[in-house]
Structure 1
């Protein structure tokens, strides 16, 4: 894999990256990030969609908020959560693109995806 020489690796960057991956290392939080990548949702919706209890979901959301990954806003009586960092969405989507539904890791980034259909080319028709 080629290195990005424009981004120097520093102790601070290594520590921050490690903390981010540690935050996402919990399957429940990773699932919440995946769900929030689809858009805003309240805690009860997230709990239901992730098959977790509301208190557990609230605790995970609090950790995501404290880390600056998620934010919340009031909508009447509900608190709606959203992702604050689009980079996290990109990391999580990239991670899932390398893993099959059965949990096996693909040797190549696109090995687990079905082959793309060729695009229609009007010049060839």
Structure 2
């Protein structure tokens, strides 16, 4: 049995509303870039790395220890996160330290967590 309200039964196209939305719609390239940016958050290992960096900077070996993974595996994920400007790094002696690139990343993660918890 089909639920009422899931299919639009009217055939009227609201041209003024459609035109207004199309004028305000972001361009295709920006939307593709944004979709790719959000894909980076779809991997649990990358989310764990981001979460580990919420309050402090860490070197690769510390992140590997926290996550129980190899430095090689962590470095691979960090490279992706760095390419999308989610983390930044600097070298101190032989160690490379990572931190979140800016406050937006913290806010994105916290918003996602809050949304998930509220919807349970």
The TM-score with structure 1 as length reference comes to 0.68
Deviation by residue 1:36-92 (Cα, 9 ceiling, x = unmatched):
121210011111112222111010001111122111111122110111132121111
How many aligned residue pairs are there? 98
1:12 is aligned to 29
Counterparts in 2 of 1:15 and 1:26: CA distance versus 1, 3 Å: same
Between Structure 1 and Structure 2, which shows a larger proportion of helix residues? 2
Please tell me whether residue 98 in structure 1 is matched to residue 115 in structure 2. Answer: yes
Match of 1:60 among 53, 58, 77: 77
2:66 is aligned to 49
Q: What are the ranges of 5 or more consecutive residues in structure 1 without an aligned counterpart?
A: 1-6, 101-105, 113-125
| Secondary structure in 1 matching 2:32 | helix
Q: What are the ranges of 5 or more consecutive residues in structure 2 without an aligned counterpart?
A: 1-23
Please tell me whether residue 79 in structure 1 is matched to residue 96 in structure 2. Answer: yes
Distance 2:48 2:30 in 1: 25
Runs of 4+, deviation exceeding 4 Å: none
1:22 is aligned to 39
| Secondary structure in 1 matching 2:116 | coil
The TM-score with structure 2 as length reference comes to 0.71
Rg larger in structure: 2
RMSD of equivalent CA atoms: 2.0
| Secondary structure in 2 matching 1:82 | strand
